């Protein structure tokens, strides 16, 4: 399994790991208007070579409207290329945001959105 740290911004750090035709993106920090392009670029680069991408939000503590837009955008891009995008381990505040905006159903239709830790 190879690890590839993405160029960190002041607010968001993304670390990717690839294993066969699956990849994981581990976020840390805030997904905002100043970091949403970083998220999109990182995930979109992974879509063509992977059947499944795990977007782990364990250490993401804030998402603004631009961040939500970026997540929807990469979700749709993955769907178009028959790549499963799974959002996991969102903080309670972010889970609530997904529920309020009805995005939990979008991520569920993509193969998952789990607010709980992977081992629970």
Domain-embedded: residue 119:
no
The per-residue pLDDT for 106 is: 74
CATH number (domain holding residue 27) = 3.30.750.24
The secondary structure of residue 47, as a DSSP letter, is G
The per-residue pLDDT for 10 is: 56
Domain span at 42:
2-114
18-22, 53-57, 92-96, 115-119 — which is least confidently predicted? 115-119
Distance CA 43, CA 69 (A): 14
The pTM is what? 0.80
Q: Total domain count for the chain? A: 1
pLDDT band at 105 (very low <50, low <70, confident <90, very high): confident
Nearest to 85, CA basis, from 98, 99, 71: 71
User: CA angle, 92 as apex, 115 and 8 as ends, to 5°?
Assistant: 85
């Amino acid at each position: 399994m190879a690890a590839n740290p993405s160029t960190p911004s002041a607010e968001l750090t993304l670390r990717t790991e690839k294993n066969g035709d699956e990849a994981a993106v581990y976020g840390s920090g805030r997904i905002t208007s100043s970091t949403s392009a970083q998220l999109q670029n990182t995930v979109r680069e992974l879509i063509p070579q992977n059947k499944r991408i795990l977007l782990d939000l364990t250490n993401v503590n804030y998402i603004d409207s631009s961040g939500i837009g970026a997540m929807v955008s990469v979700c749709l891009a993955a769907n178009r290329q028959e790549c499963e995008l799974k959002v996991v381990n969102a903080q309670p505040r972010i889970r609530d945001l997904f529920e309020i905006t009805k995005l939990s159903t979008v991520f569920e239709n993509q193969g998952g959105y789990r607010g709980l830790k992977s081992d629970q």
